[in-house]
Amino acid sequence: MNTREYIEIEEKYGAHNYHPLDVVIEKAQGVWVWDVDGKKYLDCLAAYSAVNQGHCHPRIIKAMKDQADNVTLTSRAFRNNQLPLLCKELCEMTGFEMVLPMNSGAEAVETALKAARKWGYKVKGVQEGQAEIIACTNNFGGRTISIVTFSTEAQYKDGFGPFTPGFKIVEYGNADSFEKAITPNTVAFIVEPIQGEGGVIVPPDGYLKKVSELCKKNNVLLITDEIQSGLGRSGKLFAFQYEGIMPDMVTIGKALSGGCYPVSAVLSSKAVLGVFKPGDHGSTFGGNPLGCAVARESLKVLIEEKLVEKSFEFGEYFRAELRKINTTHVKEIRGRGLFIGVELKPEAGGARKYCEGLMKLGVLCKETHEHVIRFAPPLVITKEEIDWAVEQVRKVLEN
């Protein structure tokens, strides 16, 4: 079957909750993917940063196959020999004390919100039913009803109410706006250190440090959502490290499994995650041995191949090369590490058509919001591959 036929079948039988580029991928390796017609593309999205280690990384695939031959699922009714090691390795690597494993990013965010509320009632002493959680404009945390409750993107909420009470919105990047919203009932502040879906928005220097201080002063938990910005994408293991802070809770997902399996987690302290007692929260697949084995190897690859450092260095290079393109379409080039947003001027006519042009030239990337092209290739990309990608970007952007 060819591209057209696959698309027709998907359009007929699959729900239309996405608007993908019309490329049908059947094979991938490292930074490259191939479509069903045999055409090769450089992947500059990396499945929204789930494939930081590169597609089908041989070590991760081997860990997955080996574990699949042993045991894939025990449920948490029984213990397995992978979960303890993943929890220990994650804590040693990140400096947190405890891990709660889940599957998707949205589940990790939900878990963090539940932990924060329970902590608020059991530890902080907020009156039952009164807990407030503060979130930011332009945030993205996933698609459950409670998470879209605090989205400021009209489409994410349209038709999905009634929503969950207990959330407040403040302006992203504005610590004063956050400070004003704090009340004695505030239990947590959830924030992305760099907003990914929001258009690769880096907040002003000092913002995270300031909100971290305000959280400490007011006994409010700081939750940084690092599902996209974390695990090397930003050029540090976590993007919050740019400001030398230590949040109370961190959500991770996406690259935690190198794109091989859905694995997410909440990292925190005993004081916070300790509020969960047996039966309070759970997931059939959360902490399953297959996911844990894949995650353990994905983390080892990240460290041993120095992908965090590579992201920092090549990100600077990628942005510098993009800035050399002679074009009047670009408003701003921003980001940290290999987490790059190219914002086009409104006159440029929307980012989608440039993504479609790049696809024809063999580079896959996706518009985020109307005017931003996000470049977030697997962190295993080489300098030569960046040069080639920039050459293609030049062809679509140069006047």
Ligand X SMILES: *Cc1c(COP(=O)(O)O)cnc(C)c1O
Q: Which residues bind ligand X (CB under 6 A)?
A: 48, 104-106, 109, 140-142, 192, 196-197, 225, 227-228, 253
With tokens 């891990």, the residue in question is 99
Task: Dump strand ranges (E) for the chain.
Answer: 25-29, 32-35, 40-43, 98-102, 132-136, 167-170, 186-191, 221-225, 249-252, 264-268, 330-336, 339-344, 363-364, 366-368, 372-375
Smallest separation, CB 190 to ligand X (Å): 9
* Smaller CB separation from ligand X, 325 or 351: 351
Give CA–CA dist 323/20, Å, rounded: 28
* Smaller CB separation from ligand X, 115 or 325: 115
| Catalytic site includes residue 140 | yes
Tell me if 256 sits within 8 A of 231, measured CB to CB.
yes
Which residues, 6+ apart, have CB-to-CB distance to 321 below 8 Å? 386, 387, 390
138 residue type, one letter: N
Active-site pick, 43, 178, 210, 225: 225
* Smaller CB separation from ligand X, 325 or 373: 373
Smallest separation, CB 107 to ligand X (Å): 7
Smallest separation, CB 104 to ligand X (Å): 4
Give CA–CA dist 28/225, Å, rounded: 28
| Catalytic site includes residue 387 | no
| Catalytic site includes residue 270 | no
**Length of the chain as a residue count:** 399
Position of minimal CB gap to ligand X: 105
Smallest separation, CB 38 to ligand X (Å): 30
Tell me if 130 sits within 8 A of 119, measured CB to CB.
no
Nearest in space to 2 (alpha carbons), one of 28, 41, 38, 29: 38
Smallest separation, CB 106 to ligand X (Å): 3
* Smaller CB separation from ligand X, 378 or 385: 378
* Smaller CB separation from ligand X, 131 or 265: 265
CA within 13 Å, CB half, 171? 7
Smallest separation, CB 180 to ligand X (Å): 24
Nearest in space to 331 (alpha carbons), one of 316, 341, 318: 341
* Smaller CB separation from ligand X, 311 or 392: 311
Active-site pick, 96, 118, 140, 150: 140
Active-site pick, 254, 285, 312, 318: 254
Phi, psi (rounded to 5 degrees) for 76: -85, 5
The residues that are catalytic are 140, 225, 254
